[in-house]
Amino acid sequence: MSRSLPDEIDVAVIGAGAAGIAAGRRLAEAGVGSIVLEARDRVGGRAWTVVDRAPHPLDMGCAWLHSASRNPWTAIAEAGGFAIDRTDPAWGTQAGGTLFAPGEIEAYRAELDSFFGRLAETAAAPGPDRPASDLVDPAGRWTPLIEAINSYINGTSLAETSIHDFDAYEDTEENWRLPAGYGTLVAAHAAGLPIVTGCPVTRVDHSGPRIRLETPRGTLTCRAAIVTVPTPMLASGQIAFFPALPDHQTAAAGLPLGVADKVFLSILDPAALPAGHVFGAKDRAGTGSYHLGRFGWPIVEAYFGGPFARDLERAGPDAAAAFALDELAGLFGADIRKVLQPVAVTAWAQDPFAGGSYSIALPGRAADRARLAAPVDDRLFFAGEATHGSAYSTAHGAYWSGRRAAEEALAAVGRDSGRPSGGGA
């Protein structure tokens, strides 16, 4: 990635996650002078694959090609020669153990389907938005597990989940995976783009005829800027805007990032565990979702969400792995500890350039996605998964939003200028 910072450019993109890369790619296709500024020392943002902690790639962030047949990353993967695993996920099943009595899995899934039905009916009915917790019986037999499922999907509690926003999500229920890693794919899509890493933007001054972006590497001026950073960075003022943008800051605050964290465990004896999926518990929201032997590899991928994931982060770097081992020992016996070795743990809420995993709309704040996406003075544009109304929380929603913001910027500085757009004035 480029390490030099020009004095001026036509369009600057702030953030090299999935949205920023998509925006940068579209600007490059149009021949517009552009640059992507990334605070981290790597690209991809919350799409991050590591290859040095286990014999196989580990997706620390997004991992599933959701709505895969219409997900643009699927076509990008196919064009790039990436292998795609089209096996249906084992969510909602229990491979081995004695956690569920005969018929209980079916009963749980029936209640979960009923919950989703109530959610759709309530969202379609007249009236104000409500929290999803209104749609469950607090004393219901399967309410704790439904609460856990919501924490995996939305990264938060039912009480903080907007019914209108939850219902707005569009899903083909096709979920595929990339053995090479989703983060690997997103990073590959950035190849050749003018990206400066280790370059956080601290201030956006749009008071004059040109926008001034202040960074530790110096100041860059541009005709238009596309902001793709996660909502906590906007809500907290981590990036300062002058003049201030109170509407966007308020919208970002209504779209905080939920938390979904992972623990990866190496299986030293692959015969010791069945392949498939298990829940750690059925009677509490604070439990893990475990994929055993994914891709046929000797790896357990443990998944924790919502307030419980935040609690595990606060408890320290070893807490999540210890909890995962305790739950798996409860399912498969104490001897299982001897064949499981922690190799990687995430802590997205503590990441200074994320502050969480993916956006949620608080009850009553579903309309904030459109507010956050609104341009300012036809030269400041906003993208990122939080700005997409029906594919939020996903890498494909981020991609679509980045392309949309790039088109807005092109209309403002390229196509409207009536001349080829270069890298200078």
Neighbours of 408 (CB within 10 A): 21
> Tell me, what's the pLDDT at 424?
34
Question: Is 58 a member of any domain?
Answer: no
d(CA 296, CA 326): 23
* Domain count across the chain: 1
Question: Is 370 a member of any domain?
Answer: yes
Question: Is 165 a member of any domain?
Answer: no
> Tell me, what's the pLDDT at 65?
98
d(CA 367, CA 389): 8
3-class state of residue 26 by DSSP: helix
Spacing of C-alpha 74 from chain mean position = 17
Question: Is 331 a member of any domain?
Answer: no
Residue 20's φ and ψ, nearest 5 degrees, are -65, -40
3-class state of residue 64 by DSSP: strand
d(CA 90, CA 291): 8
Question: Is 338 a member of any domain?
Answer: no
Asked, as a colleague might, if the bond just before 274 is cis with ω within 30 of 0, I would say: no
Residue 9's φ and ψ, nearest 5 degrees, are -155, 165
Q: Tokens representing 319?
A: 């807490």
In CATH, what number is assigned to the domain containing residue 197? 3.50.50.60
Which pTM does this prediction carry?
0.95
Give 266's contacts (C-beta < 8 A, 6+ positions apart). 54, 298, 299, 340, 341, 342, 343
Question: Is 246 a member of any domain?
Answer: yes
Question: Is 336 a member of any domain?
Answer: no
pLDDT (tens place) for every residue of the chain, 425 residues total:
656 799 999 999 999 999 999 999 999 999 999 999 999 999 999 999 999 988 999 999 999 999 999 999 999 999 999 999 999 999 989 998 789 999 999 999 999 999 999 999 999 999 999 999 999 999 999 999 999 999 999 999 999 999 999 999 999 999 999 999 999 999 999 999 999 999 999 999 999 999 999 999 999 999 999 999 999 999 999 999 999 999 999 999 999 999 999 999 999 999 999 999 999 999 999 999 999 998 999 999 999 999 999 999 999 989 999 999 999 999 999 999 999 999 999 999 999 999 999 999 999 999 999 999 999 999 999 999 999 999 999 999 999 999 999 999 999 997 543 333 333 32
> Tell me, what's the pLDDT at 327?
97
d(CA 110, CA 98): 20
Give 334's contacts (C-beta < 8 A, 6+ positions apart). none
Q: Tell me which residue range forms the domain holding 212.
A: 8-47+182-256+359-414
